Structure 1
Amino acid sequence: MTLPIAITIGDPAGIGPELSLRVAADADFQPDVPVLLIGSAEVLQRVAGAVGLNVSVCVVADPSEAARKPGVAYVLDVPMDGVSTITPGQVTAANGAAAVAAIERSAELALASQILGTVSAPANKEAFNAAGHHYEGQTEIYAALTNTTAFHTLLIGGPLRVSLVSAHCSMLEAIRRVRADRVERIVGEMHEALRNGFGIATPRIGVAGLNPHAGENGVFGREEIDELAPAIARLRNRGIDVSDPLASDSLFAAHEAGRYDAVLAMYHDQGTIPLKRFGYVSYSAGLPITRTTAGHGTAFDIAWKGIANPELLSRATKIAVDLGTRRLATERA
């Protein structure tokens, strides 16, 4: 039996439900395995009608009932109240609660090995908080649900794979997080993800410096000397192929040219700006389940208008299928 890949439909007032329907039911965007949508079937039906999608929403009781059939979206219903009053583009606590409920259901199924993995359509952090769920993002919710303390996000776009020392925090906090123990942990997680998830036997990891020109030997800052160098020394003692701190403006070009299998960036914009021209998929490294998401938000300004592009969520779904299949094969070996 082929396990399905799950997609949580995200914030009901955003583009997530529309994108989820398209990836689940459109042959141009479907992966090679069945897709199981997780969320409110009533929301999906309302969105399909609003954007003119000719999709049949089929409610199933068990993931094994999902099939790969163009024109049909199979959904494990997670009901929510007030669907008829949802306003596209509006942040509400009810929408945040619905998104979290779908995440919780998907984590439960993934931990029980009833799905290959889960893909997150975009949700809204403000709505999470309004509903009483105080997390930086969906990744942190999955970490809490799976009792995972060591995890990070690996971003995949074009030929680039990029991990971040910090993501959604202020620049001041990002600088505070550049510490040797954190860098060592994340590079170790990258190494395992590249080996086990992507099948790279001996990963080569490039490390970006925090400061311009990687600090110029302390002229522009000492983080490379005081924090990055000790972490790199310990990683090399563990047999991990990792570079010295390098100027990021040249490091990403070297990665794109094939010199490295992945890059560690020190903060959000340093790592994501080079990826933006490709569009990127986020993979949650370190979790005991396979989970990806598209690297964009809820796009409230175009929600429920039938113009959202499903290509990136489709890519996230196909990557999750590949990663989940490899994980399953490893677990069964």
Structure 2
Amino acid sequence: MVIGTVLGLIQALFLILAAKPILNYMGVNSNLEAPFCMDKFFLDKDSPMIKPAQQYLTLRSLGAPSLLLSLAMQGIFRGFKDTKTPLYATTVGNLANVVLDPIFMFVFRMGVSGAAIAHVISQYLISLILLWKLIENIDLLPPSFKDLQFDRFLKNGFLLMVRVIAVTFCVTLAASLAARQGSTTMAAFQICLQIWLATSLLADGLAVSAQTILASAFVKKDYDKARTTASRVLQLGFFLGLVPSVTIIFGLPYASRLFTTEVSVLQLIRVTIPFIAVTQPINALAFIFDGINYGASDYAYSAYSMVVVAVISILCLFILSSTHGYFGIWIALSIYMSLRTFTGFLRVGTGTGPWSFLRV
């Protein structure tokens, strides 16, 4: 919790102080041309996205400490095998967000700034609920500073941070390349990306359950339970990916009007639907493999394999976006998720590392 809060404060300060340069590098220009990009990706000066983007980023940054603290506390509850408390807390927080969004955005006419404020309030509400429940069950004050054992957390935390940076950089780069193609392309990309990630993350619940059960099984050296758990969640994950895949194919052409009424944006969303739908089972398996490898405490492999995947995916993003534009970005993202699934399967399927018992 200490590490999460400190990292959140550092992140908030960095994003607030460097909001405009970050957005410039993301392809949203103010009075500068976008750095390190090819001519075809240049935006006109004074992009219409710069002002609302800067307002949103600055305000959302204020929620970084609460976000990272809440993620740390959710990890603590998972360690207790208590998945109900984080569920209730996030449900209350997100419902508050849903209610406050239209109030701030439309009643108070604050636009994207109102959306950011609503999200920040919901994040702090989640953190307060989790902290309140945690204080009821745990004495959070350690006997001494040494008992916090920062070195243990920083070692595994560094590996996971490397992985998170690699994962985040790929998606962020994709957004940057989309932004360089104009506000219409960026609007369509962001809507599709949120749908793509939201439906894929449905499998994250299975991944968390697998992580918790497997961690317990590996500690007890109950390899039969580990084998059965891994097999079962992978089967469930694949079928869980098929459900949103079918729903998106038939439902998104009509549901897309809930997000925008701009004809040009809707046209781009429609041509993106095949990418979103086809990759759902692949995405679900990628998240499941993450949970399985975390449950086996295989942090080093998870981090290093993700770096390799990120390097290949970044090259694909640059090459395919320059040759195929908007479609190229989605082709590269599909390759990215496929590689994530492959590296996860490679570790378990070959029975290496902590999975060597599978070869017996």
RCO comparison, higher one (Cα < 8 Å, 6+) = 1
TM-score above 0.5, yes or no: no
**Pairwise TM-score range, normalised by the shorter structure:** under 0.3
Which protein has the larger Cα radius of gyration, Structure 1 or Structure 2? 2
The structure carrying a bigger strand percent of its residues is 1
Q: What TM-score do you get using the length of structure 2 for normalisation?
A: 0.25
